[in-house]
Amino acid sequence: MSSDTAAAVARRAYESLEPFHVVAYFNPGVGRAQDALGLDGHAFYVGGRGAPLAGAPASLVAATFYNFSPTLIASAWTAASARGLDAVDASRYEMLDEQFRAILGDDCERLAPLVPEFQTIVDALPFSGRPLAAAWASTVVPDEPHLALWRTWTIVREWRGDNHIAELVSHGLDGIDAGVFHESDLPDPATRRRVLGKKLFQLTRGWSDDEWSESVERLTARGLIEPAGDGSRLTDTGFAVYQEIEDRTDAVSGAALPDSLADLVDRTRPFVKKVIDAGLLPGTKKS
């Protein structure tokens, strides 16, 4: 497989399978799980996603989450750790079990043949320099096929995320700068991509208005963004940097993924479509 093809497969795998992962963050059981543990949304999210880093200081967790405010991570990690990360992890899996069974029904068992194939991919990944993915790879494989598949895809997803962070670092974009850069409009508004918007990004990542404004000033001084209405837009230079970061993330990821991934993604997509059709995720409607 050529390098261009490998990069395209890596991108397609990420876009195709991401909905399966984010069920953990968008489903009717999230609020109940948080309330049962006595945690707010940030603590439940940070504790669940960071559970494999149990015992690590908040500064390390913030480094791996990258575009989250270290202050938010410190508060959320402290609360989740005090409640017990094992309890948060177990609650998250219990919630996912309930949601996937409701969405997939008997198809949960039909996922079983896919699990060892994804695990083979995970076992062959290089984890040097990928701390969050490496931590997730050390976790126990759940018995239920739908949970085991969620775990293996989470490892690949976090591994790609670690690759992406490396590219952001190499282009001089820290956590808040990466967020402002990504949330800025593209020169061509017809280009499709996932964005949160300034308000939701700040709410979920914990950055203040002052921190946002300071980042806008830095990125403007670098010639990467420019004013556009009430927000900002990437300049031609900024868009070239954006494309390079995305392309390099796909290239680095694709170089370590096997040719068999394309077929595996195709066989997984029907199950992911059921997740999308359930209408739980942002931007989807129940079919």
Determine the pLDDT at residue 190: 80
Distances from the Cα of 210 to the Cα of 67, 175, 217, 234, angstroms = 16, 15, 11, 20
Enumerate the domain spans of the chain.
Answer: 3-171+243-277
Q: What is the largest CA-CA distance in the chain?
A: 56
Average pLDDT of the residues in 245-259: 96
How high is the pLDDT of residue 1? 66
Q: In the predicted model, what is the mean pLDDT of the chain?
A: 96
pLDDT band for 193, please (50, 70, 90 cuts).
confident
**What is the tens place of the pLDDT at every residue in 127-138?**
999 999 999 999
Q: What is the per-residue pLDDT across 54-88, written as a single tens digit (0 to 9) for each?
A: 999 999 999 999 999 999 999 999 999 999 999 99
Report the 3 state secondary structure along the chain: CCHHHHHHHHHHHHHHHHHHHHCCCCCCHHHHHHHHHCCCHHHHHHHHHCHHHCCCCHHHHHHHHCCCCHHHHHHHHHHHHHHCHHHHHHHHHHHHHHHHHHHHCCHHHHCCCHHHHHHHHHHCCCCCCCHHHHHHHCCCCCCCHHHHHHHHHHHHHHHHHHHHHHHHHHCCCCHHHHHHHHHCECCCCCCCCCCCCHHHHHHHHCCCHHHHHHHHHHHHHCCCEEEECCEEEECHHHHHHHHHHHHHHHHHHHHCCCCCHHHHHHHHHHHHHHHHHCCCCCCCCCC
- The span from the CA of 266 to the CA of 73, in Å, is 36
Cβ-contact 151, 52 below 8 angstroms? no
Please, which pLDDT band fits residue 35 given cuts at 50, 70 and 90?
Answer: very high
Yes or no: say if 127 and 159 are a contact pair by the CB < 8 Å rule.
yes
Residue 216 half-sphere exposure toward CB, CA atoms < 13 A: 18
Q: Which two tokens stand for residue 253?
A: 């990821």
Q: How far apart are CA 29 and CA 212, in angstroms?
A: 32
Which whole-number Å values give the CA distances from 214 to 45, 147, 228, 281, in the listed order?
Answer: 27, 42, 17, 32
Mean pLDDT calculated for residue range 264-268: 96
pTM: 0.95
**pLDDT value at 286 more than 90:** no
Q: Is it the case that residue 285 has pLDDT exceeding 90?
A: no
List of residues 6+ apart from 176 with CB closer than 8 A:
67, 69, 207, 211, 212, 214, 215
Query: Does residue 159 carry a pLDDT above 80?
Result: yes
Instruction: Read off the pLDDT of each residue in 247-271 and give the average, rounded to a whole number.
Output: 96
| Cα torsion through 231, 237, 241, 244, rounded to 10 | 130
